[in-house]
Chains A and B, each alone.
Chain A
């Protein structure tokens, strides 16, 4: 891959890593079975209310979340593109009402001495799509751009009140 292509790919990628005090096979399990996914996937207060998983390469999944209003959000889902047991899961993801806006998520699990580094790599179709989801392209790290834009919005909102 040329340097340009690498940079282009970085411009539309979001990478988040987290270290867990648990072996990789448990994390892999938590990502691959509905009864486990339903216990943790989604932010607090937005549990999965729809979780269909056909966990094999070429198989599909379908999720939706329901918030405190009781109304289910737009379902989203995609296809499992690659599965390496206890190591890696690759799938694409899009909202059902906007299937062309796809992102590819790669989850990798690297275990060392009983601890596992989880990397959640999201590749958007374009830098513009990434900006739309995670900030306006002013970020230095994974979340700081989002924080900044969030601060702008909150500041303006407070000033308006």
Chain B
């Protein structure tokens, strides 16, 4: 079920809340890229893209290569899996609880019907 949001998950959701950063992630889903390759198809400046990359990096969504010259950026999907599980769980918490309540209250109704004559 819902687990209390841990700081990393807060960072993941904050990182995903921005369309530019989602576009960067979508690009990286196709394969690693250098910062310049990420800047090229956008109207953004290199420092702006670098700023977005830092946010993604802090959230654990991307990692940077070691090679000093190019430092390709890679997508790291693990936090996405966690975010997905968390979201699914919270949505399920409301809808499935209320579904289960529906089944259970019908059971209560049948039990009550056996003890008292039907109201109305």
Contact = CB atoms under 8 A, between A and B. Distances in A.
Given A26-B109, A27-B105, A29-B108, A16 B81 contact: no
Interface residues of A, number: 50
Contact of A41 (B22, B75, B97): B97
A41 B17 CA distance: 31
Given A18-B102, A74-B3, A154 B96 contact: no
B51 to A, nearest CB: 19
B10 A132 contact: yes
Interface of A: 16, 18, 20-23, 26-27, 29-30, 36, 39-44, 46, 65, 67, 73-74, 76, 95, 97-98, 101, 114, 118, 120, 131-134, 136-137, 143, 146-147, 149-150, 152-157, 159-161
Given A43-B93, A73-B3, A149-B16, A156 B80 contact: yes
Contacts of A136: 13, 16-17
B52 to A, nearest CB: 15
Interface residues of B, number: 44
A97 B7 CA distance: 13
A153 B112 contact: no
A42 B1 contact: yes
Contacts of A65: 1
B91 interface: yes
A152 B25 CA distance: 11
Interface string B60-88: 00000000000000010100110110011
A105 B112 CA distance: 28
Contact of A30 (B16, B77, B105): B105
A48 to B, nearest CB: 10
Contacts of B115: none
Contacts of A39: 100, 104
A153 to B, nearest CB: 4
**Max count, chain A CB within 10 A of own CB: residue among B75, B101, B102:** B101
Contacts of A95: 3-4
28 contacts: A16-B94, A18-B102, A20-B101, A21-B106, A22-B108, A27-B101, A30-B104, A40-B97, A40-B100, A41-B100, A43-B93, A43-B95, A46-B89, A73-B2, A97-B4, A98-B4, A114-B119, A114-B120, A120-B98, A132-B10, A133-B5, A136-B17, A150-B84, A150-B87, A155-B26, A157-B81, A159-B29, A160-B29
